């Protein structure tokens, strides 16, 4: 049996930390290939290099039945008219699904199925869950004005494949238009 300290975790949605867990921080400079408006991205970087999001992760076992989980915290903000967001990824083991649990703030998950390319936008809010099926790229976006925090629980062997998204990005973008999130095709958004 694992020890109590392994079985129980204490997390703080306000700080985005899980006691005793390592955290990864992503700054604006880490997200060069994510944002649509490269001029807005460059001028935002010249003004500073803010923290965009952090993920504290707990990864205890590595067996087939084990689970890992992370606490994500995405700051409010925009680059041009695009909201702060995560890099987004497929799971390296494509069949791995994930359950997201909204804790605070107002978010959206952008899901893109690998083979069909079909896209879905699902709200991520406190006391709501979002089920991310396998074979689906997922990106989390803060569309609100306060930090967005959530838990993501996934199979230990899921792994993270960032390469495919870094090469071609998601086919859709979520843009702020007069205070409302609007989903556009990336190609159409480039022209607009
Ligand atoms: C999440 C993500 C977290 C950060 O824990 O890792 O939201 O997003 P990126 O990993 O795309 O930077 C998860 O989906 N884990 O599988
Ligand atoms: Zn994931």
**Nearest protein Cα to ligand 1, atom 4:** 86
Whether pLDDT at 173 is above 80: yes
Which pLDDT score is estimated for 155? Answer: 98
The span from the CA of 19 to the CA of 167, in Å, is 35
The pLDDT mean for the chain works out to 96
- pLDDT tens digit string along 146-168? 999 999 999 999 999 999 999 99
**All structural domains of the chain with their residue ranges:** 4-191
What percent of the chain lies above the pLDDT cut of 90?
A: 93
Q: What region, left, alpha or beta, does residue 30 occupy, with left being phi > 0 and alpha being psi -120 to 50 degrees?
A: alpha
CB of 68 closer than 6 angstroms to any ligand 1 atom: no
Cα(72) to ligand 2 centroid in Å equals 11
pLDDT band at 191 (very low <50, low <70, confident <90, very high): low
Per-residue pLDDT, averaged over 159-188, amounts to: 95
Residue 152 tokens read as 């993501």
Global pTM value:
0.97
Domain 4-191 sits in CATH at: 2.60.120.10
Q: In what order do the strands lie in the sheet with 148-155?
A: 22-27, 51-58, 67-74, 148-155, 98-104, 129-132
Cα(56) to ligand 1 centroid in Å equals 10
Cα(178) to ligand 2 centroid in Å equals 30
CB of 70 closer than 6 angstroms to any ligand 1 atom: yes
């Amino acid at each position: 049996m694992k020890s109590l300290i392994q079985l129980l975790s204490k997390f703080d949605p306000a700080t985005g930390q899980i006691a005793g867990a390592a955290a990864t921080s992503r700054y604006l400079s880490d997200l060069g290939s994510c944002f649509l408006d490269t001029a807005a991205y460059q001028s935002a970087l010249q003004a500073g290099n803010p923290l965009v999001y952090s993920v504290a992760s707990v990864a205890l076992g590595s067996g087939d039945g084990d689970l890992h989980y992370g606490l994500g915290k995405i700051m409010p903000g925009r680059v041009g008219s695009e909201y702060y967001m995560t890099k987004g990824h497929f799971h390296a083991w494509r069949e791995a699904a994930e359950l997201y649990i909204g804790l605070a703030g107002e978010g959206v998950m952008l899901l893109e199925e690998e083979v069909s390319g079909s896209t879905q936008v699902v709200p991520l809010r406190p006391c709501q869950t979002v089920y991310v099926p396998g074979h689906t790229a997922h990106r989390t976006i803060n569309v609100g004005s306060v930090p967005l925090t959530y838990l993501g629980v996934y199979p230990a062997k899921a792994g993270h494949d960032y390469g495919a998204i870094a090469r071609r990005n998601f086919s859709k973008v979520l843009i702020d238009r007069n205070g409302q999130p609007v989903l556009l095709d990336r190609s159409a958004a480039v022209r607009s």
